[in-house]
């Protein structure tokens, strides 16, 4: 899936930025920490759910750009252990959003055509069973890919989880 902002000035800026990146040193790893979606929504009088959906769409744009410029590794910090403290309605929405994004990734022609390996890092076993199953399906479907690596951090946070994530990344790079 590819997103484009229709403003012609922004399109020119985006093209120039891409050219500068491609002419310089190659970026190997991009990390995206999804933070501030609720705050963004609140400041604009939007629902939390819409804030999270807009944040996910922005992350998808960044993922598309990374694919276009040849970034090899992307880590998307999607759901921390601290997020388990949120109210049940918001957690359910986030779990459903993440599950649906994994389904989209698994069905994405662009992911498969570009051989993007998708892995979840963190304490996935803490997540609802239906989300765990979609994560496993997507990991399995992309297991043999090695053109790009998308690590999705789920139920991460705290020292132990960060250590686990670093070890998983080290194993993936070997």
Active site residues: 35, 83
Decide if 97 contacts 127 (C-beta within 8 A): no
Longest dimension (CA), the chain: 47
DSSP state string for 48-106: HHHHHHHHHHHHHHHHHHHHHHT--EEEEEEEEGGGGGS-HHHHHHHHHHHHHHHHHHH
The distance in angstroms from the start CA to the end CA of the chain is 30
Helix%, strand%, coil% for the chain, nearest 5: 60, 15, 20
């Amino acid at each position: 899936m590819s997103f484009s902002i229709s403003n012609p000035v922004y399109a020119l800026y985006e093209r120039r930025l891409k050219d500068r990146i491609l002419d310089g040193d190659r970026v190997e790893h991009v990390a995206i920490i999804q933070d501030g979606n609720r705050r963004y929504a609140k400041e604009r009088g939007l629902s939390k759910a819409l804030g999270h959906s807009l944040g996910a769409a922005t992350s998808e744009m960044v993922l598309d750009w990374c694919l276009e410029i040849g970034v090899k590794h992307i880590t998307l910090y999607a759901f921390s252990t601290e997020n388990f403290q949120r109210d049940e309605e918001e957690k359910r929405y986030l779990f459903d959003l993440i599950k649906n994004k994994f389904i989209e990734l698994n069905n994405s022609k662009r992911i498969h055509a570009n051989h993007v390996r998708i892995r979840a890092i963190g304490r996935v076993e803490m997540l609802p069973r239906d989300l765990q199953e979609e994560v496993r399906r997507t990991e399995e479907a992309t297991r043999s890919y090695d053109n790009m690596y998308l690590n999705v951090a789920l139920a991460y946070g705290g020292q132990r989880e960060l250590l686990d994530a670093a070890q998983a990344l080290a194993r993936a790079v070997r």
